[in-house]
Amino acid sequence: MQIDRGVTRIGDTDFRWGSRTYIMGIINVSPDSFSGDGQPTLKAAMEWAKQMVDEGADIIDVGGESTRPDSQPITPEEEIARVVPFVERAAGKIGVPISVDTYKTVVARRAMEAGADLLNDVSGLTWGTGMIELAGKKNAPIVITSNQRDNPAQDIMNAVIGQLRELMEKAMKAGVRPENIIIDPGVGFGKTVEQNLEIVRRLDELKVMGRPILLGTSRKSFIGVVLDAPPQERLEGTAATTAIGISKGADIVRVHDVKQMKLIAKMSDAVIRGMKR
């Protein structure tokens, strides 16, 4: 049975869940991004964001700190210095909402003051404090992510669903409206290769949550293990997981390669949701 997940307003745009798959384009303003696509200057980041929008991105997600397992943490001040100038320059000017990828509340607050529209905390709301309270206070949409880095699981889907339920309850108690919650199973965050594959295969089980599903598999290491390929050579693997994820209910796909994944999503939507002329 199809559950009506309604509409979420992100910035000035209504996202009508179930109508099509939305594309979230990734902008890394960190120099040590795992995928090797970090933008060295504000000008380069803006040019890349504009190109992504031209290629079909519906949201631009900007992050200033790498979250790969072996990355070195940076101070909030350094992250703000990387992220906020981009948000100030891009917000309201590139034609799509801006999402900020951070687990630090102070960074998220400064980004929202600069014009960011969506909070994307990959930590499972555990690496920092106050993020859901900020979302509630600002009436801001938020992506909540299942993250097992600090608590590895054997039964991965049970763990993911259980954690997402708990986080949703916390968010709503903090004043976040249900329609402002987007869920992410957290592919790559504390999961084994086999568990990441299982999440994509069983993604439709998250529909029981009644909220839109964000899937982020783009260039991730489990694809590299399967294909024996470095990040820049994982396009086909990303395309396969994206198409399968859409068939299993993904509403947003977070990607590096917007042009190609937009076509994958368009074709997948035509098969799954019916051709729209």
The residues annotated with a catalytic role in the active site are 220, 254
- Comparing CA positions, the residue from 236, 271, 148 lying closest to residue 199 is 148
Full domain range(s) for residue 98: 15-272
Q: What CATH number is associated with residue 97?
A: 3.20.20.20
Q: What is the mean pLDDT of the chain?
A: 93
In a domain, 115, yes or no: yes
For the chain, which ranges sit under pLDDT 70?
1-4, 32-40, 68-71, 277
Q: Are 80 and 91 in contact (CB under 8 A)?
A: no
In a domain, 10, yes or no: no
Beta bridge partners of 143: 120, 182
In a domain, 3, yes or no: no
In a domain, 162, yes or no: yes
Beta bridge partners of 144: 121, 183
Q: What CA–CA distance (Å, rounded) separates 144 from 167?
A: 7
The pLDDT, as a whole number, for residue 1 is 40
In a domain, 154, yes or no: yes
Token readout for 150 is: 């600090």
Beta bridge partners of 63: 28, 101
Radius of gyration of the chain (CA): 17
Number of domains in the chain: 1
The pLDDT, as a whole number, for residue 276 is 74
Under DSSP, the state recorded for 47 is H
In a domain, 32, yes or no: yes
In a domain, 6, yes or no: no
In a domain, 5, yes or no: no
